[in-house]
Amino acid sequence: DAGVIQSPRHEVTEMGQEVTLRCKPISGHDYLFWYRQTMMRGLELLIYFNNNVPIDDSGMPEDRFSAKMPNASFSTLKIQPSEPRDSAVYFCASSLSGGGETQYFGPGTRLLVL
């Protein structure tokens, strides 16, 4: 079975550019989560969706960040414009309601903003 898929795995961009990170959750999972990992703040939840609907975006740091889930098999996290302090590893995770509480993580996207 395919796990959570994220692309790209690495992204290097210049300050001010738009960055789009992509995620495909595990088939059949109805919850999707976006996390960010930095040295200073550790692993923190940014936003999560249930059945493609955003439920809680209280962790999204600024208006420069936006996330969408147009269908059950695809989600994007967009940063526009990007800043050097956005450099981090971004993880996507998915889980299944009624199937336990476990969230399954993708391999992450390592973002470097110069």
Task: Count, in order, helices (H) and strands (E) of the chain.
Answer: 0, 11
Measured from the Cβ of residue 61, the count of other Cβ atoms closer than 10 Å reads 13
Report the alpha-carbon distance of residue 103 to residue 114 in Å, rounded.
31
Q: Any contact of residue 55 with another protein (CB under 8 A)?
A: yes
Q: Any contact of residue 38 with another protein (CB under 8 A)?
A: no
Candidate residues 15, 43, 112, 114; the one interacting with another protein per rule CB under 8 A: 43
Report the alpha-carbon distance of residue 98 to residue 56 in Å, rounded.
19
Candidate residues 42, 63, 70, 71; the one interacting with another protein per rule CB under 8 A: 42
The smaller minimum CB distance to another protein, of residues 42 and 70, is found at 42
Binding site for another protein (CB under 8 A): 4, 31, 33, 42-45, 48, 50, 55-56, 91, 93, 95, 97, 100-108
